[in-house]
Amino acid sequence: MTSAITTHELTKFYGRTRGIEDVDLEVREGEVFGFLGPNGAGKSTTIRVLLDFIRPTKGAASVLGLDARRDSIEIKRRVGYLPGELAMYEKMTARELFGYFAGLRGMSDLGDAEALSERLELDPDIKIRKYSTGNRQKVGLVQAMMHRPELLILDEPTGGLDPLIQAEVHRVIDEVRSDGRTVFLSSHVLPEVERVADRVGIIRRGHLVVVDDVAEIKRHAVRKLILRFGDPVDPDVFGGLPAVVSVHALNEHEVEVAVEGSVDPVIKKAAEFETTSVTADDGDLEAAFLSFYADEGEAVP
Amino acid sequence: MIPTVFHKTIWDRRKSILWWCLGLIGMTLLTMASYPTVLDQRETYESLLEGAEGFAAIFGFEAVSELFDPAGYMVSNLYAQTLLIVLMVFTIGIGAGSIAGEEGRRTMDLLLAQPVRRRRVVIDIVGAMTVLTLAISAAVMVAELATNNVFQLDLSVMGYLAANVGVALLALIFGVLALAVGAVSGKRGYAIGIAAAVAVLLFILFGLSTSVSFLEWSEPFNPITWFIGSRPFTDGFSVDYGWMILTIVVLTTIAIWGFERRDVSV
């Protein structure tokens, strides 16, 4: 399988400040790759080097088999990009913006812009400054996809979107993948990446810490369940169960159980008592995942 | 569809350009309409300025009396003054607003995500700035030609053409300078500040170099000389216009170099 994106020791320093350091990344053609990390970890820096907005201090990157620096124009012809901090021409309508970018791309019409707008329920004849945050994000998404790019680079695509539209965006991403095209998606929330990506790379403080299949992450993700019982329950009954990482009694009636992977054994055990409520805390799955890798002896800075 | 950055730069100003034209035409006609009155008082003015050859020199003339000839009047009251300044405000606005301004508004990432070369962005902006500035100058010139005889100026068509092309070229130098500073630095404030400061300095230098002997050397290298010193209304197109065009080309090249080599700010 060929690669949609390859980076080799990709490093970017802003003066003395580290953006990214020695990032070796490979995104395969046809996959949805989730690029996960907290804000400021280096996600946007990596993307901006790939698109030749900024130049690496060291290392090299290639996109669709082309050199990110030398062949930047050809790359942009074949790539769609949604910036993380989306700013657009406020005085244009969305349709005018699509027309401008279609013009710069040498397209004879608006491509898929019309159909995508309809699908995302976006009225393209309104001035961009009048759109809500969610609608602006839709405009950004449409301009990224209107020319049917082979590679779609989305920097935090669902930030500011309500859940319904988030779901629609995820469906669009699914379709792009089923078309055989590639999606590189950066996000700081694991559930989103978990939902749409095949593989995920986690970046922390400028270093790519780990790359793995999403299924693998799911297997190792640690969830916290808070079980509430009608009668006092001895927390130790959960202690010996498979996949349970830790157990804490919050009070006589409440037990917090950390589970790696399937919660099935815990739920079955809880069913033996009068369970009044179960809440799952997906809080920081990513941190839990990272700690797993740290335990495995992987380098987590 | 807006097919290029060139078209977009013009499209952005499709409404405001009308106001720039109307404003400058109004200013020009007001100045021209005052000429018959000035002519009536010519002797009084001349006696007031008697012996002030240095004052005449800063508008490119030798004798004070020339300032009250139609050509001298137009240059000293319009082309070396308000018309030039307003056109410079216009070009510097485009120059500073286009690359540095686009970065400041954070839209540059989106533009450069399209398959457009940075050098093409620079060239398109310079092209659009040139077309817009010449369009304003053309509008002004039409108004001038229409009223030339009414206000007793009796200047030639060639004189008007040379003066309007000259003032446009001079304004373009500072607009492209602002573009170049913005392209190198990415900072709109620097672009406006440096372009305006250089313009003021060159004006002061031009004024001084006509009377201060140790600054005389600077005269042939000063863009202000290339325009004002070439006496466009009487002498028509000067070879010095070539220097203005060359300066614009050099500054465009610097803008391309500066923009292509650096990181685009977020």
Q: Give residue A150's pLDDT band: very low, low, confident or very high (50, 70, 90).
A: very high
**Mean pLDDT (whole number) for A59-71:** 96
Task: Please give the Cα distance from B59 to B234 (Å, whole number).
Answer: 13
Test A102 with B264 for CB contact under 8 angstroms: no
Contacting B residues, span 72-131, partner chain A, CB-CB under 8 Å: 105-117
Nearest CA in chain A to B6: A104
Length of chain B: 266
Tell me, what's the pLDDT at A295?
A: 55
On whether residue B266 sits in a domain, the answer given is no
Tell me, what's the pLDDT at A117?
A: 94
Test B115 with A89 for CB contact under 8 angstroms: no
How far lies A219's CA from each of A222, A260, B97, in Å?
A: 9, 7, 52
Test A55 with B4 for CB contact under 8 angstroms: no
Secondary structure of residue B70 in the 3-state scheme:
helix
Tell me, what's the pLDDT at A298?
A: 44
Task: Please give the Cα distance from A124 to A96 (Å, whole number).
Answer: 8
User: Most B CBs within 10 Å: which of A85, A89, A129, as the mutation test of the B interface?
Assistant: A89
The per-residue pLDDT for range A191-206, each reduced to its tens digit, is: 788 889 999 999 989 9
| Percent of chain A predicted with pLDDT > 70 | 93
Tell me, what's the pLDDT at A288?
A: 56
Q: Average per-residue pLDDT in chain A? A: 89
Q: Nearest-CA distance from A27 to chain B in Å?
A: 19
Tell me, what's the pLDDT at A101?
A: 97
Task: Please give the Cα distance from B110 to A76 (Å, whole number).
Answer: 11
Nearest to A99 by CA among A151, A152, A146: A146
Whether A76 contacts chain B with CB within 8 A: yes
Question: Strand A199-204 vs strand A207-213: parallel, antiparallel, or unpaired?
Answer: antiparallel
**Mean pLDDT (whole number) for A131-145:** 93
On whether residue B14 sits in a domain, the answer given is yes
User: Most B CBs within 10 Å: which of A97, A100, A143, A145, as the mutation test of the B interface?
Assistant: A100
Chain A hits for B115, CB-CB cut-off 8 Å, are 73-74, 76-77, 104-106
Q: Nearest-CA distance from A193 to chain B in Å?
A: 24
Token reading at B165: 């092309």
Tell me, what's the pLDDT at A2?
A: 79
Total-model pTM: 0.88
Q: Nearest-CA distance from A46 to chain B in Å?
A: 13
Test A51 with B113 for CB contact under 8 angstroms: yes
Tell me, what's the pLDDT at B65?
A: 86
Whether A184 contacts chain B with CB within 8 A: no
Report the number of distinct structural domains present in chain B.
Answer: 1
Q: Give residue A284's pLDDT band: very low, low, confident or very high (50, 70, 90).
A: low
Q: Give residue A301's pLDDT band: very low, low, confident or very high (50, 70, 90).
A: very low
ipTM at complex level:
0.91
**Mean pLDDT (whole number) for A38-44:** 89
Whether A289 contacts chain B with CB within 8 A: no
Nearest to A65 by CA among A138, A139, A151: A151
Tell me, what's the pLDDT at A161?
A: 78
Tell me, what's the pLDDT at A144?
A: 96
Task: Please give the Cα distance from B262 to B135 (Å, whole number).
Answer: 33
Token reading at B193: 């500040």
B61-91 b/e (C-beta count within 10 Å ≥ 16 → b): beebbbbbbbbbbbbbbbbbeebbeebbebb
The mean-pLDDT minimum among A44-48, A154-158, B57-61 falls in B57-61
Domain that holds residue B141: 5-261
Along chain B (266 residues), what's the average pLDDT of each consecutive run of 10 residues? 95 96 97 94 88 83 88 94 96 97 95 97 98 98 96 94 98 98 96 97 90 86 93 94 98 97 89
Residue that wins the pLDDT comparison between A49 and B56: A49
Domains and CATH numbers, chain A: 3-217 (3.40.50.300), 222-282 (3.30.70.1560)
